[in-house]
Amino acid sequence: MKAAILIQRWYRRFLARIEIRRRYTWTIFQSIEYAGEQDQVRLYNFFNALLTHIPETAGRPLDSQNTSRSSSAEALNMKFSDESDDLADEGITGPERGYQGPDIKFPLDKKELEVIIDLFRKKKNRLHAKYVAGILREATSKLKRLPNLNQASTAISKQVTICGDLHGKLDDLLVVFHKNGLPSPENPYVFNGDFVDRGKKGLEVLLLLLCTFLVFPGGVFLNRGNHEDTVMNARYGFIREVHQKYKHNAERLLKLIDEVYRWLPLGTIVNNRVLVVHGGISDSTDLDLIRSLDRGKVFDILWSDPQHTEGCRPNSLRGAGTYFGPDVTSKFLQRYKLQYLVRSHECKPDGHEIMHGGKVITIFSASNYYEIGSNKGAYLKLDPQLDTHFVMYTAAASKTRKLTFRQRVGLVESSALRELAAKLRERRIELEREFKSRDPENKGK
């Protein structure tokens, strides 16, 4: 009996040590991630201030800025080159000659969508830039007609599925469609932003979501995230990805992608009772104001995070948005007669988290976000009574199934330490200068 108790104690201590390692690893990853976002927000604010103080830009009315932006997109109705290696320098208007991918016809239908999904899944050929541009233009045209806040309902479908951040993880999106079915008016989805960056398949994820949006009107609701932004894309990999995949057409495609970003709705309301936004709220969030705002000028609902303590304070870690407490949530929900808030924006070990007494739900759909085995992805299903059902999954299940909990933590821990070491090397001169100022006599104290 004593031996059994000793073994049990040892095992509990072992699990506690592993859990501590998992938690500090998570903290390292999040600290590095948020510090990077803070740098990008500073850069964003700098360029905004710069543009404000340029006389020609400052003196130009707001409408003319919108007009010039839209006219630049219309001017992109031009030739797109084939990306085949042997035709790299030839301007080809259509998918002739070296192109081996599928021929896509517009307007898209379910058959064309299945062809595109098959193409992305098999990874054999790349969709011609002409078709990529066509999808982006068609999507922009439809998005422009939508309000700032989508209205979704379970009246016909009897359910709504909400997906969080995908961050270029095509495998996760395909797992969701496999488990839950393709979108349709009878099986509607809300995709809650951050479709691109960090993952290697951001362009495929974005195009696939836009295709489902075009093929199933009323079956797909797209919300904007803080990474649907070219400033963020410059740091976190999406612009580089587009240049690698479409090196002869990248700049033209990126301008069309920027137009898609500009017209993405800012949130979705389900059954007039549940608000779905990417980040969160603040004590000054006004839904009536959001309904009438320029979609390109919103920060709080894209960047904010919930906190356990009361009140509302600036989100110093990210450099934008706020931390909002349970009191802020309660007042907001009461003011707009809402039941609860669904948001994304933060990676969670199980792909979801419930806070503020069930009034704030975080949903994150990119599994293995930091490293293989670091976290599960999840999606949320709402029924007509708005009861919640979470479905968790791991995209690379075959790789993680064989790993023990200790091995998974070890993989993530080593990855986190590599990231930390890289950051320390980047700041080596600054760190050495700071250490010297605090210990001028080199005593090591």
Instruction: Work out whether the CA dihedral 129, 132, 134, 136 comes out positive or negative.
Output: negative
Taking each helix axis from N to C end, the angle separating 405-426 and 2-52, rounded to the nearest 10 degrees, works out to 40
Q: Which of 169, 168, 218 is nearest to 190 (CA)?
A: 218
Which residue blocks in 123-228 are alpha helix, DSSP H?
A: 129-143, 170-180, 202-215
Burial 111-132 (b: 16+ CB within 10 A, else e): ebbebbbebbeeeeebbbbbbb
Specify which residues 363 forms β-bridges with: 352
Q: In sequence order, what E strands does 347-404 have? A: 352-355, 360-363, 377-382, 388-393
Whether the link from the prior residue into 107 is cis, omega within 30° of 0, is: yes
From the list 53, 128, 178, 227, the catalytic residue is 227
d(CA 77, CA 133): 9
Please indicate whether residue 227 is annotated as part of the active site: yes
Q: What angle do CA 179, 182, 186 make, to 5 degrees?
A: 110
- Please count the helices (runs of H) and the strands (runs of E) in the chain: 16, 14
CA distance 82 to 86: 9
150, 269 contact by CB (below 8 A): yes
Chain position carrying tokens 């587009």: 242
Residues designated catalytic: 227
